[in-house]
C-alpha cells in the first residue's frame, strides 16, 4: 500500500514536473526570506530572540549553530534566483532528449549548486568567528575602515579576468550545460557543484560586503541580491563591471572619509 502511494506521488510529480520545478524555484527563496526578514527586524530585540543570541560574544554550540543556519539560509535565499535560468534550461534539455522522468535530475543538480553555497555560508561563519575577536561589532558590522577595505577588494575583483570568466559562465547557461553535461544523477550533481563553484567565483567578494553593511541588515541583503540578479541575468549585466567597480571604489573612499 505504501509503495503504491509512493509510486502514485512520483507519477504525479513526473506528470507535473515543469510546474513543480517552477514552484520549487519560487518557494525556496521565499521560505528563506520568511526567515531572514523577521530575524533582520529583531536584531536589536530581546536577548531571548535568536537574532540577538547570534550577537552574543560567547561562541558556544548553540551560537555557532544559529550563525551557521543564518548564513546558509541567506546564501540559499540570495543565490537560488540567479540559478533559475540554468536549472530551467537543464530540465528542458533533459526533458526533450530523455523524457519527463529524466528531467527530475535537475534536483540533484540544484542540490549540488546549493551545497556549494551552504559550504560558503559555513566558511563565512568561521570568518565571522575570527573577525568577532577584533574587528566585528556586536551588531555584526565591521568598522568604517574595514568596510572601506572590503569595498575596495570587491571593486578590484570586479575587473579581474577570473571574475569575467566566472560571470560569463553564469550568464551563459546553455553553453555551460552543453559543455559540462554529464549522464545520470551523479553527473547532474557534479554539474551543480561545478556551477556552484563558478557562481562563488563570481560573487564571493560581493557576499563579503554583508560584513560592511551589517550581516543581518535587510537593505544590504536585498541590495546584494538585486545586484547579483542584474549582473547575471540582465542584457547589460556583463558590461557593467567597470561601472560597478568605480562605484564601489567611490563608496569605499567616501566611507573612509567619514
The Cα 37–Cα 41 span in angstroms is 6
- Per-residue model confidence as pLDDT tens digits over 60-69: 677 788 888 8
- pLDDT attached to residue 156: 93
Asked if residue 199 lies in contact with residue 160, where contact means CB atoms within 8 angstroms, the answer is no
DSSP-H helix ranges across the chain = 2-15, 17-41, 50-53, 61-98, 100-103, 106-132, 144-158, 161-171, 173-180, 184-207, 210-213, 218-233, 241-257
Q: Tell me what pLDDT residue 50 has.
A: 47
* Per-residue pLDDT at 59: 64
Sketch the domain layout of the chain as residue ranges.
Answer: 2-257
User: What is the reported pTM?
Assistant: 0.84
Average pLDDT, the chain: 81
Task: Give the model's pLDDT for residue 196.
Answer: 95
Cα–Cα distance measured from residue 227 to residue 161, given in angstroms and rounded to the nearest whole number? 19
Tell me the per-residue pLDDT of 78-131, one tens digit each, with 9 for 90 and over: 999 989 999 999 888 888 877 777 778 899 999 999 999 999 999 998 888 887
Amino acid at each position: 500500500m505504501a509503495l503504491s502511494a509512493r509510486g502514485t506521488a512520483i507519477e504525479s510529480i513526473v506528470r507535473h514536473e515543469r510546474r513543480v520545478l517552477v514552484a520549487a524555484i519560487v518557494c525556496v527563496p521565499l521560505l528563506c526570506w520568511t526567515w531572514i526578514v523577521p530575524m533582520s527586524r529583531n536584531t536589536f530585540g530581546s536577548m531571548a530572540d535568536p537574532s540577538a543570541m547570534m550577537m552574543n560574544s560567547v561562541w558556544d554550540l548553540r551560537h555557532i549553530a544559529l550563525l551557521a543556519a543564518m548564513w546558509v539560509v541567506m546564501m540559499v535565499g540570495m543565490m537560488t534566483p540567479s540559478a533559475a535560468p540554468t536549472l530551467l534550461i537543464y530540465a528542458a534539455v533533459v526533458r526533450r532528449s530523455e523524457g519527463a522522468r529524466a528531467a527530475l535530475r535537475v534536483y540533484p543538480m540544484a542540490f549540488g549548486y546549493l551545497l556549494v553555497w551552504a559550504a560558503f555560508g559555513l566558511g563565512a561563519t568561521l570568518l565571522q568567528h575570527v573577525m568577532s575577536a577584533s574587528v566585528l561589532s556586536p551588531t555584526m558590522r565591521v568598522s568604517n575602515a574595514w568596510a572601506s577595505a572590503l569595498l575596495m577588494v570587491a571593486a578590484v575583483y570586479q575587473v579581474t579576468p577570473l571574475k569575467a570568466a566566472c560571470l560569463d559562465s553564469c550568464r551563459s547557461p546553455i553553453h555551460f550545460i552543453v559543455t559540462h553535461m554529464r549522464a545520470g544523477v551523479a553527473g547532474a550533481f557534479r554539474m551543480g557543484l561545478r556551477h556552484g563553484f563558478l557562481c562563488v567565483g563570481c560573487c564571493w567578494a560581493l557576499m563579503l560586503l554583508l560584513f560592511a553593511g551589517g550581516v543581518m541588515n535587510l537593505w544590504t541583503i536585498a541590495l546584494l541580491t538585486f545586484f547579483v540578479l542584474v549582473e547575471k541575468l540582465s542584457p547589460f549585466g556583463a558590461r557593467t563591471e567597470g561601472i560597478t567597480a568605480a562605484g564601489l571604489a567611490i563608496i569605499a573612499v567616501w566611507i573612509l572619509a567619514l
